[in-house]
Structure 1
Amino acid sequence: IFTELDIIDRYIMPYEILEGFDKDNINRQCINSDKFMLANTHIRPFERAQFMRGTEDLFMDLAMEEPKIKKLLSKLHHFYLKELDMVTDTMVDGFSFMDDWGTQISLLINPQIWREIFKPMYKDYCDLAHSKNKYVFFHSDGFIEQIYPDLVEIGVDAINSQLFCMDIEKLVDLYGDKVAFWGEIDRQYILPFGTKEDVKNAVDRVSEAVIKKNKKRTGAFAQCEWNAFDPYENMITVFEHWDTK
């Protein structure tokens, strides 16, 4: 952790990590598959800055408009653009990136700070990917209704978010013809603690909102994230019930 901001001036990003990038291997996997090929990336500027600076200090730095934290984010951003340029030069269909932005009820930072600092970075990732005809997938935990329109505006194609923290029907009404909803069933309560009937009802809610009421049908990915301790039968029920739709 960078306990002193001056360390940022001396810090050199580990570009040597990217030297092991195996474009040929990725392309072979793409050629040998008839599936949609989605590449994961290291891109997570907000979270990485927390790991490097510490969460509380980073929040203070952002609120105080500390110039050196912007320098750190700039270093991260250039590293991520280099990585993304390599990924999008392969035959993959799209890439994913992430940052967890929400608490249970709100964003972790002022949305205006997000728009001033992080939105332009995200737009660069989207623009680079789209310039090479790749799809953009984004994940965030928590309540992120406030930045949904921004994510749509900059060109994110699919969003994986905790729909059950938010108003699912409202999100679909506003953005259902603009973005795909990338797989989510409530993993805080229903998947770990609910009955099979609860799981079916949750799938029905997403299906009803995203597929049946969304006439333009940007659609949903019939997936869900789960934890190792969640009941196996609940995971199976999610996919079996989606198969009935």
Structure 2
Amino acid sequence: MTSRELVKRTLEFSNKTRRAPRQIWFLPWAEKRFPAEVKSLREDFPADIVTAPSVFATPPLNKGDPYEIGDSTDAWGAVFTNAQRGVIGEVKHPLVAPGDDGWDDTSRVHFPVEWLTFDRDAVNRFCASTDKFVMGDCCPRPFEQLQFLRGSPELYMDLVTRPAGLSAFLEKMHAFYCDLLERWAKTDVDGLMMMDDWGSQQNLLINPRLWEEIFKPLYRDYIAIARGRGKKIFMHSDGMNLAIYPHLVELGLDAINSQIFCIGLDRLAPFRGKISFWGEIDRQQMLPHGTPAGIDAAVRRVRDTLWAGGGCIAQCEFGPGARPENVRQVFQSWEDIAREA
């Protein structure tokens, strides 16, 4: 069975094997500190999910390296200041000024129309060259991008007061993201992705009613675009975001990457067989402070609680603080489970 077939069957809860598809996320922090261990992990646990490369006719306007100390600029024009090598920094001076409560001046925001110029033929050639499950190289993130452009405290207030300027800007942003997804959905990729970190450690970052009114319709459109072209659709969202799970299931999301140990496996058990859990293993406590034996027990709890003829992808993030031996144990445990009778 190819990786492409394995991932699709896992997402459709028809995986008759015991093997979960694999994917490790390597942050530059890990690649810079543990190059030998990263190389070994890639060789010993090859990914079943890969991302198609983007070749742009018109290059995006990004400047600098967002993972290096100093300033960098994203494709929208937001400037990030980074104080720690290997992770992404923060926006200190939003493009929509703190005093602009009506969103009257968005002239400094650049919509990255360059993303629309990606080479579709190059993407299709890549898809034809591999038997891996291929993800498109695009990722709508409306809530987070609004924060990068406005600043989080100001945006939270805007979502309550709902100025007309914000609504008009969000409508334009959503149309752009839909156009981008439509173009990628017309390629030969197997899946598309979106993301927004919605949870704090204990609750949703905004009132669930506001989430349902403002953002759920956006995700509905993104998911519909993917499904309309026969693509699988994935989402990443950190924090305690249990409140949005029922909505994402209702909308037809195939897989979610979330902090399942922050939420609690028992709380997620009712969603077994309804949505696929795209990882992970606790990167707040277990990966930096745990032991291989504890990691093995955690993986087995995930498998016992959430596997339903599929529905689990062996994924974790090798990021700040994580111990290489613990990341290795995540994937070794999934391999061991696959071999057990």
Structure 1 runs of 4+ off > 4 angstroms? 10-13
- 1:139 offset after TM fit, Å? 0.5
Matches within 5 A, 1:43-192: 43-172=140-269, 174-192=270-288
Task: State how far apart, in whole Å, the 1-side matches of 2:109 and 2:263 are.
Answer: 39
Q: What is the CA RMSD across the aligned residues, in angstroms? A: 1.4
Shift in Å at residue 170 of structure 1? 2.7
Provide closer, same or farther for how the CA distance between residues 199 and 207 of structure 1 changes in structure 2, counting only shifts above 3 A: same
SS of the residue aligned with 1:103? coil
Give the TM-score normalised by structure 2: 0.68
Amino acid of the structure 2 residue aligned with 1:14: F
The residue aligned with 1:225 is 317
For the pair 1:237 / 2:329, whether they are aligned, the reply is: yes
Highest relative contact order (Cα 8 Å, sep 6+), 1 or 2?
Answer: 2
- Report the equivalent of 1:17: 114
CA distance in 1, matches of 2:310, 2:170: 33
Deviation at 1:19, TM superposition (A): 4.3
Tell me, what secondary structure is at the counterpart of 2:317?
A: coil
**Which residue does the alignment assign to 1:7?**
105
The residue type paired with residue 104 of structure 2 is D
Do the aligned residues in 2 keep the contact of 1:45 with 1:76 (CA within 8 Å)?
A: yes
Q: 8 Å contact 1:41–1:95 — kept in the other structure?
A: yes
- What is the TM-score of this pair, normalised by structure 1? 0.93
Q: Does residue 123 of structure 2 align to residue 26 of structure 1?
A: yes
Aligned twin of 2:29: none
Aligned to 2:7: none
- CA distances 1:72-115 after superposition (whole Å, capped 9, x unpaired): 21111011011101110100001111000000100000000000
C-alpha deviation, 1:226, in angstroms? 2.2
Task: Judge which range, 12-21 or 225-234, deviates more.
Answer: 12-21
Distance 1:80 1:87 in 2: 11
Q: Give ranges in structure 1 of 5+ residues lacking alignment.
A: none
Q: State whether residues 176 and 218 of structure 1, in contact with CA within 8 Å, keep that contact through their aligned partners in structure 2.
A: no
CA–CA distance in structure 1, aligned partners of residues 205 and 111 of structure 2: 28
**Match in the other structure for 1:38:** 135
- Bigger drift between 221-230 and 52-61 goes to 221-230
2:306 maps to a residue whose letter is V
Equivalent pair of 1:179/1:218 in contact (CA under 8 Å) = no
Shift in alpha-carbon separation, 1:15–1:232, aligned structure 2, 3 A: closer
SS in 1 for 2:186: coil
Letter in 1 for 2:160: A
Asked whether the equivalents of residues 13 and 79 of structure 1 are also in contact (C-alpha less than 8 Å), the reply is no
Give the drift of 1:12.
6.6
Distance 1:236 1:40 in 2: 27
Whole-angstrom distance in 1 between the partners of 2:305 and 2:278: 13
SS of alignment partner, residue 90 of structure 1: coil
The Cα of 1:42 is off from its aligned counterpart by 3.4
Instruction: Structure 2: give runs of 5+ residues left out of the alignment.
Output: 1-93
Deviations along 1:180-232, whole A, 9 cap, x unmatched? 11010000010011111111111111011012xx4xx3420011112054211
How far apart, in 1, do the equivalents of 2:167 and 2:109 lie?
Answer: 15
Same amino acid, percent of matched pairs: 43
> How many angstroms does 1:20 deviate by?
3.1
More helix by share: 1
Stretch moving more, 53-62 or 193-202: 193-202
Note if 1:205 corresponds to 2:297.
Answer: no
Q: CA deviation at 1:150?
A: 0.2
Relative to structure 2, which stretch is displaced further, 44-53 or 64-73?
64-73
